[in-house]
Structure 1
């Protein structure tokens, strides 16, 4: 199956990272097409591929799939042997719940702390609504690890779409030097030790150097 993933800058595009990690998890062969963000022609170039004018978008033999959550679900159904969702019906339901919460929520965090893999500086002051988002995300991670993470270091033990969805949050927490519990800090380190994430991170560094 010929797959092409249209993405934005690897240093900045959190939603592209989510879809890319899910695609890596699927084990499928694919090519990628990167469109630089925040350029005068960015929207025009993206609209040549995506009806929403946003990235990511996955080109398949059947047609285009846009939105990171829809792309992840498509990959999970198309490559069931890759087990992109956790084992067990309840674990999968919780994984989908936390991904949906990430997908639609945490606007203060995403607004005040945009993803930037090159950042390494705390904010002078963290607003209360951002602190509330950090607390909620830490609680999600703690619950998933405690209830479902016995078989590995990821949220549901083995790596899954849930980790792809929270990887950009780990980037934010590290880049903005957010104070975390030992458990949450260990999960951030798990993301940074994930080989697929490291490949994206290295590509982002090379992208910044050009």
Structure 2
């Protein structure tokens, strides 16, 4: 059985976990935290999570893992069958993962972990996010899902990352850039939360946070 390695606070771990649960793909969850120890680097070259252990070896980077799962389990239809719609789903994931979340990630040190970010970083990230969110808004449908009327794999990315973008900008700038742009991500998250796989991901994340605080 495949092993998904990571921990429940990682949005990219949760993205892959959501896909696995949503499509009924058997897997074992293994608790692993990022590390630069050699034992970790043997599995994940940059010491990041998630990574997937398969009978063929280890695979890292969340989107590469999702693409692997789609190719290995074609009957599960992780991406839409039509090439255009599947490409639009990949486009949406790129916007969420790269243009929004990875840009906002520069703020997390201060927004979530008690550190500080420089004024230069704040200014640079603000300009980038405002620009990127405007582009995202041009393609995101929220009707009620990111790509239209039907849930798609793009929503596994949106579900785990849009709240982080909103919360980080609220913490650093005093305003939620997504809400400010007219993107009601909170209603969107409630819609996704109706899905059992999303509920499982969210419950496990909350349990991890509670256990960490109690430790």
Take 1:27 and 1:137, find their aligned partners in 2: how far apart are those partners? 32
Match runs of 1:13-162 below 5 Å: 13-37=10-34, 42-44=35-37, 45-106=39-100, 107-113=102-108, 127=123, 129-130=125-126, 132-133=128-129, 136-137=132-133, 139-140=135-136, 143-145=139-141, 149=143, 153-156=144-147, 157-162=149-154
Whole-Å separation in 2 of the counterparts to 1:26 and 1:99: 18
TM-score by length of 1: 0.74
- Mapped contact 1:142–1:183 kept (Cα < 8 A): no
2:192 corresponds to 1:195: no
TM-score calculated relative to the size of structure 2: 0.72
Q: How many residues matched?
A: 192
Deviation at 1:57, TM superposition (A): 0.9
Unaligned runs of 5+ in 2: 114-118, 171-175
Structure 1 Cα separation of the partners of residues 47 and 12 of structure 2: 13
Work out the CA distance in 1 between the residues paired with 2:124 and 2:46.
Answer: 32
Instruction: Spell out the pairing of 1:171-210 with structure 2 (5 A cutoff).
Output: 171-173=163-165, 175-176=167-168, 178=176, 180=179, 181=182, 183-210=184-211
Deviation of residue 65 (structure 1)? 1.7
- Greater length-normalized contact order (CA 8 Å, ≥ 6 residues apart): 1
Aligned in 2, Cα 1:23/1:162: closer, same or farther, shift over 3 Å? Answer: same
* C-alpha distance in structure 1 between counterparts of 2:208 and 2:66, whole Å: 25
